[in-house]
Amino acid sequence: MSAAVVLALCVAGCAALLPAGPAHRVHRIRPPAVGAGRPGRLRTRLFRDTAGEAAEWVALLRRLAALLQAGRSPAAAFEGAACAGTGTGTGRHIDRLCESVAAAARLGLGAAAALEAAPPARLGHRALDRRAASTTAELVLCWAVSARTGAPLTGLLNGLADALEAELDAEAARSTALAGPRSTVRILTWLPVLGIGLGMLMGVDPLGVLLTTPWGRGALVAGAVLTLAGRAWTRTLIVRAEAVGEP
């Protein structure tokens, strides 16, 4: 087999380890996926789902601000915002929350008190539950600040929506920045295997050297240990970087 064919096979093997395409910046409503490999795809799917469902809260805040600015009462605003869920777990929770707050407001209970009395979210994931609890608490603070200071409630709600969108953008930027290191680690992990395959294609016996000679076995053990240590250290760094900015 010619050297050109061997080189082409190695290049094709390295290219197969690269991600399919570049990561994209988060959209305001539905961020796209980034990542690589099976664990990366799982992280990507989880990020897409949690970020997409977090955007449901942004849409709720925008709807409430628009309805209140149009002159609706809090009860009517929550009632009007309750029918716009997308069918996701967060969307259904928001619909139930709005309906309960609207019913309580019609009975004379304040919106802030009704929000505080709402049952906690059970969305099946800790990140989604934490997001629901924090956003509900921030809604209560918006109503309390508006009641005490006279600040326009629509401005507070829009400001909260802007802050949540900025947080989603930061999460997407962090995930995009970590996609490159993940791909690099995966490529470097498979390069020794590609090197062994290249040696076999060239007619030498690297496996025989590694498995039958003392210095070959020593090199094999040392390489395996260093590779595992490097992967563990890199994964630790990535996990630490992913944890930056989490509540």
Whether the per-residue pLDDT at 230 is higher than 80: the answer is yes
What is the DSSP code (8-state) at residue 21? S
Whether the per-residue pLDDT at 95 is higher than 50: the answer is yes
Express each pLDDT in 106-122 by its tens digit.
887 788 888 888 777 77
Whether the per-residue pLDDT at 85 is higher than 70: the answer is no
Given a contact cutoff of 8 angstroms between Cβ atoms, the answer to whether 183 and 190 are in contact is: no
More confident residue, 62 or 191: 62
Given a contact cutoff of 8 angstroms between Cβ atoms, the answer to whether 77 and 52 are in contact is: no
Rounded to an integer, what distance in angstroms lies between the CA atom of residue 61 and that of residue 15? Answer: 44
Query: Taking residues 28-44, what's their average pLDDT?
Result: 40
Confidence of residue 159 (pLDDT cuts 50, 70, 90): very high
Query: Taking residues 30-57, what's their average pLDDT?
Result: 52
Express each pLDDT in 163-188 by its tens digit.
988 888 888 888 788 888 888 888 88
More confident residue, 219 or 87: 219
Confidence of residue 162 (pLDDT cuts 50, 70, 90): very high
pLDDT of residue 199: 84
Q: How many CB atoms lie within 10 A of CB 84?
A: 14
pLDDT of residue 207: 83
pTM for the full model?
0.62
Confidence of residue 104 (pLDDT cuts 50, 70, 90): confident
Given a contact cutoff of 8 angstroms between Cβ atoms, the answer to whether 187 and 18 are in contact is: yes
Residue type (1 letter), 129? D
Rounded to an integer, what distance in angstroms lies between the CA atom of residue 178 and that of residue 242? Answer: 8
